């Protein structure tokens, strides 16, 4: 439109110039040039201000053309052009017969420099072929109309819409009703009026109701050409478009959330699996896959409950398992342990709980609580665990010790119940391959044992130990003494060797204790020899644990040498249990001892299970009849028989025999009758300290 206006200005100035030069309004050749170069311009005309044509292109007959000022359709805009000589004025769209097309007429009044209007230039836009602005395809679809409306009389200049009857539309003003509605909407949405909108370049958008159809309308005013541009879009379409878009976004969102959900679920599942695995590892023994101590602690609430439902704990200790590991390596040890675990699990009831406490200890939690039944059950389990094992072609014989405690009577929390079972187990361990049910006395003896272990550690250093010697006699003369150790502890008082020697043995304190005993005895007895000028045999008790100590013999020999006592004045008292351990190691060692000139006495003879055959292979010099037989010799036939047998063996094997624990004359008489002539016992002398022994020997001379 601007370019049209510029063109009209140029034409106008040419026409005016011509008028001023020749005082004549006439056709100029430039008109034809313009028409040739602007196909969008249907025609070009020059009119007088009174509305009559002076000239029109395309050679129409001017006399037949109407007066535009008087014509209804063009009069208003013609007048408007006369009223606004500086402006290009758009006329009402009409059907221009000469070219058979709808056109938008354009007029511009031309005035001289003193403001006098001399003529009106007219041309127009062809709706079909003109610029993009008046293109029929301007609207977006059948749901959208675009209207360009002339402001001063509300006629539409151009309508871009589907299926529009052009004639009926261009000859009809936009109803006032619509402008009213627009005004109201502007008020409501923008708090402005149509008038104010005319002075703004903004686009206003609002809802309208046109003939019962809800539309969204956008308007903008063109101030220069006094045009409204309006776009009406069916509300439903926009809603649908929004819904479609929203649906797409929601679908994307949901998909995204679903993907996120699955990713998170995957992560959570993986985390959970990892957590479960860690939890499993923390609560189970890696070797046997059985629940461990941790599991027991975490799950004991299933057993220890408010109703104090009773249950029992079986504490199982596999005897000597450590030896398997030491001798055959951990691989075999592990396989064997797995087999043990399987046997235990096969044995127990479903509702029982098997725990691997680690190492060679297992625990069974059972609902069985009857004392008698528990004992049977435990012994069956021991029998099962004692059946031979075969691991990688190696056969093993194991035994087990079981301690049993019961909830709630032996303890109301896990610690106490376990401790009670442990105490009972230690009781069983003393004998091996047995089961014991916890009794409160055990606790006392257990505590006593714990105290002994504690105190014994410093006994040598604190000089709490000393030696006593019990004479051994033949024909009323002293032929030897047995060295016996004594311990007086500030806290525990007098503790008998029967109590603390086993503790020293099981806690690894025997080698130093044994060394103290040997060294003290040797030096004290040397003093006795010197003081009394008498010489006899010194018997020293040697514990199994001293024997397996590698440096035992070399250190003993050194000690004897240092004391100045002759080897053949030394006798070592050993017990049968020595041969359970390692026959192949012990026998050569005994032979060495014997070869050095020392004597060997087999203590407590008859109480163990060593067969007489063994005696033939052993360098034994003496059998010692145990005190328990002497105690019963007067009343018990089997004791008598035993004593007689031992004496017979000694006669046959050419061994010496001695009876210990002789307390009465009748015992002495009977032993003498049977052929025993060496005695040790309270009847003759109690164990005594070095100085008392010196006095004893001197007085008996």
Positions that interact with Ca ion (CB under 5 A): 541, 573, 603-604
How many binding residues for ligand C2E (CB under 6 A)?
Answer: 24
Q: What distances in angstroms separate CA 470 from CA 194, 314, 692, 697, one per listed residue? A: 136, 44, 11, 12
Task: Give the residue from 240, 245, 248, 243 showing the smallest Cα distance to 143.
Answer: 240
- Contact call for residues 625 and 606 (beta carbons, < 8 A): yes
In the bound state with ligand C2E, the residue whose beta carbon lies nearer, of 425 and 590, is 590
Tokens coding 310: 């009773």
The residue assigned the tokens 């359709």 is 73
In the bound state with ligand C2E, the residue whose beta carbon lies nearer, of 147 and 660, is 660
**72 touches which of ligand C2E, Ca ion, none (CB within 5 to 8 A by kind)?**
none
In the bound state with Ca ion, the residue whose beta carbon lies nearer, of 515 and 603, is 603
Choice from 466, 627, 644, 689 touching ligand C2E (CB under 6 A): 627
**498 touches which of Ca ion, ligand C2E, none (CB within 5 to 8 A by kind)?**
ligand C2E
Closest contact distance (angstroms) between CB of 507 and Ca ion is: 21
- Contact call for residues 110 and 120 (beta carbons, < 8 A): yes
Choice from 292, 366, 470, 569 touching ligand C2E (CB under 6 A): 470
Query: What residues have CB less than 8 Å from 26, skipping those under 6 apart?
Result: 18, 54, 55
In the bound state with ligand C2E, the residue whose beta carbon lies nearer, of 192 and 577, is 577
In the bound state with ligand C2E, the residue whose beta carbon lies nearer, of 569 and 680, is 680
**385 touches which of Ca ion, ligand C2E, none (CB within 5 to 8 A by kind)?**
none
Closest contact distance (angstroms) between CB of 301 and ligand C2E is: 47
Closest contact distance (angstroms) between CB of 470 and ligand C2E is: 6
Choice from 473, 517, 537, 694 touching ligand C2E (CB under 6 A): 517
Query: What residues have CB less than 8 Å from 609, skipping those under 6 apart?
Result: 576
Helix (H) or strand (E) holding 126: strand 117-126
DSSP single-letter state for residue 136: G
d(CA 278, CA 489): 50
Closest contact distance (angstroms) between CB of 349 and Ca ion is: 46
In the bound state with ligand C2E, the residue whose beta carbon lies nearer, of 311 and 605, is 605
534 to 553, contacts with ligand C2E by CB under 6 A?
Answer: 541-543
d(CA 446, CA 233): 99
Cβ atoms within 10 Å, residue 434: 18
Q: Which string of x and - marks every residue 477-516 that binds ligand C2E (by CB under 6 A)?
A: ------xxx----------xxx--x---------------
Closest contact distance (angstroms) between CB of 422 and ligand C2E is: 26
**288 touches which of Ca ion, ligand C2E, none (CB within 5 to 8 A by kind)?**
none
Closest contact distance (angstroms) between CB of 484 and ligand C2E is: 4
Cβ atoms within 10 Å, residue 44: 24
Q: What is the DSSP string of 568-580?
A: GGEEEEE-TTHHH
680 to 699, contacts with ligand C2E by CB under 6 A?
Answer: 680-682, 687
**292 touches which of Ca ion, ligand C2E, none (CB within 5 to 8 A by kind)?**
none
Choice from 515, 574, 661, 671 touching ligand C2E (CB under 6 A): 661
In the bound state with Ca ion, the residue whose beta carbon lies nearer, of 521 and 541, is 541
Closest contact distance (angstroms) between CB of 616 and ligand C2E is: 24
In the bound state with ligand C2E, the residue whose beta carbon lies nearer, of 606 and 661, is 661
In the bound state with Ca ion, the residue whose beta carbon lies nearer, of 291 and 661, is 661
Read off φ and ψ for residue 400, nearest 5 degrees.
-135, 145
The residue assigned the tokens 């008087």 is 70
3-class secondary structure, 106: strand
Cβ atoms within 10 Å, residue 159: 20
In the bound state with Ca ion, the residue whose beta carbon lies nearer, of 21 and 498, is 498
- Contact call for residues 103 and 42 (beta carbons, < 8 A): yes
DSSP single-letter state for residue 187: I
- Contact call for residues 149 and 230 (beta carbons, < 8 A): yes
Closest contact distance (angstroms) between CB of 497 and ligand C2E is: 3
Q: What is the DSSP string of 352-409?
A: -EEEEEETTEEEEEES---HHHHHHHHHHHHHHHHS-EEETTEEE--EEEEEEEEETT
Task: Give the residue from 356, 328, 352 showing the smallest Cα distance to 340.
Answer: 356
Rounded to 10°, the helix 690-700/510-532 angle is 30
Closest contact distance (angstroms) between CB of 483 and ligand C2E is: 6
Tokens coding 270: 């993986």
Read off φ and ψ for residue 615, nearest 5 degrees.
-55, -35
Closest contact distance (angstroms) between CB of 681 and ligand C2E is: 3
In the bound state with ligand C2E, the residue whose beta carbon lies nearer, of 57 and 541, is 541
Q: Which string of x and - marks every residue 583-622 that binds ligand C2E (by CB under 6 A)?
A: --------------------xx------------------
In the bound state with ligand C2E, the residue whose beta carbon lies nearer, of 138 and 501, is 501
In the bound state with ligand C2E, the residue whose beta carbon lies nearer, of 293 and 555, is 555
Tokens coding 466: 């000393």
d(CA 213, CA 234): 7
The bridge status of strand 656-660 relative to strand 622-625 is: parallel
Read off φ and ψ for residue 428, nearest 5 degrees.
-65, -40
**485 touches which of ligand C2E, Ca ion, none (CB within 5 to 8 A by kind)?**
ligand C2E
34 to 53, contacts with ligand C2E by CB under 6 A?
Answer: none
Closest contact distance (angstroms) between CB of 647 and ligand C2E is: 18
Q: Which string of x and - marks every residue 310-349 that binds ligand C2E (by CB under 6 A)?
A: ----------------------------------------
Closest contact distance (angstroms) between CB of 634 and ligand C2E is: 14
Closest contact distance (angstroms) between CB of 655 and ligand C2E is: 18
**145 touches which of ligand C2E, Ca ion, none (CB within 5 to 8 A by kind)?**
none
d(CA 374, CA 644): 42
Read off φ and ψ for residue 490, nearest 5 degrees.
-55, -35
Task: Give the residue from 352, 427, 343 showing the smallest Cα distance to 389.
Answer: 343
In the bound state with ligand C2E, the residue whose beta carbon lies nearer, of 4 and 667, is 667
Closest contact distance (angstroms) between CB of 629 and ligand C2E is: 12
Q: Residues interacting with ligand C2E, by CB under 6 A? A: 470, 483-485, 496-498, 501, 517, 541-543, 573, 603-604, 627, 660-663, 680-682, 687
């Amino acid at each position: 439109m601007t370019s049209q206006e510029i063109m009209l200005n140029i034409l106008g100035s040419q026409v005016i110039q011509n008028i001023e030069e020749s005082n004549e309004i006439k056709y100029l050749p430039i008109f034809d040039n313009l028409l040739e170069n602007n196909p969008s311009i249907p025609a070009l005309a020059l009119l007088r201000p009174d509305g009559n044509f002076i000239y029109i292109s395309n050679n129409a007959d001017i006399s037949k053309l109407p007066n535009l000022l008087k014509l209804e359709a063009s009069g208003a805009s013609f007048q408007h052009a006369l009223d606004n000589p500086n402006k290009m004025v758009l006329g009402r769209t009409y059907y221009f017969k000469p070219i058979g097309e709808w056109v938008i007429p354009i007029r511009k009044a031309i005035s001289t420099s003193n403001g006098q209007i001399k003529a009106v230039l007219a041309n127009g836009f062809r709706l079909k072929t003109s610029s993009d602005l008046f293109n029929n395809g301007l609207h977006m679809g059948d749901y959208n109309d675009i209207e360009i409306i002339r402001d001063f009389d509300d006629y539409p200049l151009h309508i871009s819409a589907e299926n529009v009857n052009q004639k009926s539309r261009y000859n009809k003003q936009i109803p006032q009703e619509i402008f009213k509605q627009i005004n109201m909407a502007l008020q409501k949405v923008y708090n402005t009026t149509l008038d104010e909108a005319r002075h703004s370049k903004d686009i206003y958008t609002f809802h309208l109701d046109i003939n019962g159809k809800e539309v969204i309308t956008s308007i903008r005013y063109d101030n220069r050409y006094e045009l409204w541009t309006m776009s009406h879009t069916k509300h439903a379409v926009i809603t649908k478009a929004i819904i479609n878009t929203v649906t797409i976004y929601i679908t994307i969102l949901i998909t995204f959330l679903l993907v996120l959900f699955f990713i998170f679920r995957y992560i959570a599942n993986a985390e959970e699996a990892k957590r479960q695995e860690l939890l499993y590892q923390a609560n189970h023994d890696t070797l046997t896959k059985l629940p461990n101590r941790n599991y027991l602690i975490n799950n004991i609430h299933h057993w220890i409950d408010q109703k104090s439902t009773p249950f029992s704990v079986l504490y199982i200790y596999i005897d000597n398992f450590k030896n398997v590991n030491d001798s055959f390596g951990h691989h075999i040890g592990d396989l064997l342990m797995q087999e043990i675990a399987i046997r235990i699990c096969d044995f127990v009831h479903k509702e029982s709980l098997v725990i691997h406490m680690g190492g060679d200890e297992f625990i069974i939690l059972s609902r069985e609580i009857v004392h008698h039944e528990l004992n049977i059950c435990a012994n069956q389990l021991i029998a099962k665990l004692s059946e031979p094992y075969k691991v990688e072609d190696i056969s093993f014989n194991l035994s087990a010790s079981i301690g049993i405690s019961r909830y709630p009577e032996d303890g109301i929390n896990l610690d106490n119940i376990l401790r009670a079972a442990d105490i009972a187990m230690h009781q069983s361990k003393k004998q091996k391959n047995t089961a014991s049910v916890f009794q409160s006395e055990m606790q006392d003896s257990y505590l006593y044992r714990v105290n002994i272990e504690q105190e014994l550690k410093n006994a040598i250093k604190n000089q709490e130990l000393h030696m006593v010697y019990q004479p051994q006699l033949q024909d009323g003369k002293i032929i030897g003494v047995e060295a016996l150790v004594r311990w007086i502890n500030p806290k525990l008082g007098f503790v008998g060797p029967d109590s603390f020697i086993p503790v020293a043995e099981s806690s690894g304190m025997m080698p130093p204790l044994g060394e103290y005993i040997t060294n003290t005895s040797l030096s004290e007895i040397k003093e006795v020899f010197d003081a009394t000028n008498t010489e006899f045999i010194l018997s020293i008790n040697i514990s199994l644990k001293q024997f397996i100590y590698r440096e035992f013999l070399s250190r003993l020999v050194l000690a004897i040498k240092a004391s100045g006592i002759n080897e053949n004045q030394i006798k070592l008292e050993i017990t049968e249990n020595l041969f359970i351990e390692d026959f192949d190691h012990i026998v050569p060692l005994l032979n060495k001892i014997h070869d050095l000139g020392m004597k060997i006495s087999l203590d407590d003879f008859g109480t163990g299970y060593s067969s007489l055959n063994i005696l033939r292979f052993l360098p034994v010099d003496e059998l010692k009849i145990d005190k328990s037989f002497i105690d019963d010799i007067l009343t018990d036939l089997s004791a008598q028989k035993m004593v007689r047998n031992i004496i017979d063996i000694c006669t046959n094997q050419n061994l010496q025999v001695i009876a210990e624990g002789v307390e009465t004359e009748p015992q002495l008489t009977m032993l003498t009758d049977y052929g025993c002539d060496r005695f040790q016992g309270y009847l003759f002398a109690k164990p005594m300290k070095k100085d008392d022994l010196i006095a004893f020997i001197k007085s008996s001379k």
